[in-house]
A = this chain, B = another copy of it.
Amino acid sequence: MKKRIGIIGLGIVGEATLKTLIKYRSLIKKRTSVEIEIAQVCDKNKRKKEIADKFGLSFSSNPFSIIEDPQIDILVELIGGLTPAYEYITAAIKKGKSVVTANKALLAQYGEEIFSLAEKMKVNIGFEASVCGAIPLIRSIKQGLVGCEVKKLYGILNGTTNYILYKMHTENLEFNQALKEAQEKGFAERNPSLDIEGIDTLHKLCILSYLCFGIWPKQEDIYTQGIKGISYLDILYTEELSYRIKLLAIAKKNQKKLSLRVAPTLIRKNHPLSQVSSNFNAVWLDTYPAGELLFYGKGAGGFPTSSAVISDLAGVEQEKGFFLQKKEKIEIEKISNLKTRYYIRFMAQDLPGVLAKISKILASFKISIASVTQKERRKGKIVPIVMLTHEAEEKNLREAIARIDKLDVIKPPTQVIHIEDV
């Protein structure tokens, strides 16, 4: 079987995809009998023609020369972002082309529309590269777990934030220092807000919600908290309490409600997710009947991601119609109804009676304390007091903290981090 493809976007992933394709074209043919022909490559930056020339490929700076070429079967969209990717992808689908994309922002926003359009046009969307780069996660869920229900999902879906937290932990750095190091190593962008504010993780959680639960949630319905507020103090205390802080995407389904969130979260130090180092990604699934599963690998980078793009190129047409999960009616649980355990770090004056004042307010909101740690003693000065709570309700917790933050012995804001017993 021959497939003619056109690639839009010769950035890091685009160029790596080109190189990998050319290197492994004959291997892929031998393995699958699929012959992938790169009919045309396109980038708005005309200087990228050099790359095309190097491989003797046809180049255009106009994406419609790919979209409108009836000889091309598959559009590979690797430009990212909402505009003009949305326009290109929908135009290609309407021309009867299957689409392969790594664009998580686009799918999180327009996934429902794009997949409906693809179904209507009887083409397929390959999006293996949109979540967890090199990990064949999308296919594993779509096909490997086709006869399974996902009950819980915990994902480290963003390499940049995992790298920052990992460095804070292993090299005793404050957030800003670790971010700077990540930027120097090329693991964080100059403007890192999409990553560190959890937005990139949120995009991927939307895509996973579609795959696991048949629902495209609205981004604004998902509680999303980044890692900017994590201090080295928190890393120290959680480590001592046998936990580690990870930025997690969490999805849990019970009966007809789906609980979704993105937030820094304490997980047991000996859980496999805690061991995910550097800029790696990992997803922990609790499923029935397959049980617990972990997938781990590189979440970004040109060459690792090219592996996912290529798996789509080889498979996207055979797998047509493989995944037509209809939209489920599931209500998304409000974050205020969340029940979980909490790590709380107060900065409080080291005076007799402070703990009593805090505890009284917590008790009045039905929050019971599992442990208290106050290591430093500096009479009358501000010191950290760390509490772990038993299960409590988010809205109670937040209200209690708001009250406590008004005490004159407290230096706000108090740090609050969820604990998950994965």
Contact = CB atoms under 8 A, between A and B. Distances in A.
Interface of A: 16, 20-21, 24, 27-28, 30-33, 128, 134-136, 139-140, 142-149, 214, 270, 272, 275, 280, 282, 287-298, 301, 303-304, 306-308, 310-311, 313-315, 318-319, 321-326
11 contacts: A27-B149, A30-B324, A32-B324, A139-B140, A139-B143, A144-B308, A146-B315, A148-B307, A290-B303, A292-B298, A315-B322
A288 B134 CA distance: 10
Given A30-B325, A128-B144, A292-B298, 18 more contacts: A21-B147, A28-B146, A30-B326, A31-B324, A32-B323, A135-B144, A136-B145, A145-B307, A145-B311, A147-B307, A287-B307, A289-B303, A289-B306, A290-B307, A291-B297, A291-B301, A292-B297, A293-B298
Contacts of A20: 147, 289
A148 B135 CA distance: 12
Counting from the closest, the 9 A-B pairs by CB-CB distance are: A136-B144, A147-B310, A289-B303, A294-B296, A290-B307, A134-B290, A293-B297, A291-B298, A136-B140
Nearest to A272: B275
A48 B389 CA distance: 52
Contacts of A16: 289
A304 B324 contact: no
Contact of A143 (B293, B296, B303, B315): B315
A136 B146 CA distance: 10
Contacts of A295: 293-296
Contacts of A311: 143-147
A293 B296 contact: yes
Nearest to A325: B31
A147 B275 contact: no
Contacts of A136: 139-140, 143-145
Given A148-B307, A296-B293, A322 B326 contact: no
A346 to B, nearest CB: 33
